[in-house]
Amino acid sequence: MIAALDVHYDDPRRHGRAAAVVFENWEDATSAHEYIAEIEDVEPYVPGEFFRRELPCLLAVIGKIDLKLDAIVIDGYVRLNGKPGLGEHLFEALDRKVPVIGVAKTRFAGAPAIEILRGGSVSPLFVTAAGLEAREAAEFVAEMHGSHRLPTLLNRVDRLARG
């Protein structure tokens, strides 16, 4: 199974909502399972330490999934400027047992990403990975269902996280 994860924050209350959509194949148009985790007292955002805010939220929703995961897709980068990004921190927190694929919508200078174009978009997605080759991860993201820049299930998890 594959899980796509995302988190949305209500900053005034320091509340987070993490979502996961779980699916069987990269080409799937619909999820097999969906999960939500509500998180109180989320850490404040600190530039350069985004993972301190996001990682506990991702782990909370992963904790609700009682299925074996073959890969996890997150919104963001795995590695940044030679330092671990959110994806690498997640990969390590999972004892390096589940590959993590980062899909970012904006370029981050110095991040070694594979650029892919989907649908008719002229704006690329930036794919990074831990636990598998970035090129293979990019191929998986390119295969995902949907005719738009962002795959269908990544849009779905974003909507779930936003409530």
Percentage, residues of the chain above pLDDT 70: 98
Round to whole Å and give the CA distance between 13 and 6.
19
Q: What is the pLDDT of residues 47-62, one digit of tens each?
A: 777 788 899 999 999 9
Q: What is the pLDDT of residues 38-48, one digit of tens each?
A: 999 888 777 77
Which residue is listed with tokens 């927190």? Answer: 93
Round to whole Å and give the CA distance between 150 and 110.
23
Determine phi and psi for 89, rounding to 5 degrees: -60, -40
Ordered by start, the domain boundaries in the chain are: 2-162
Round to whole Å and give the CA distance between 110 and 22.
31
pTM of the predicted model as reported, rounded to 2 decimal places: 0.94
Class of domain 2-162 as given by CATH: alpha beta
Q: Which helix (H) or strand (E) holds 35?
A: strand 33-39
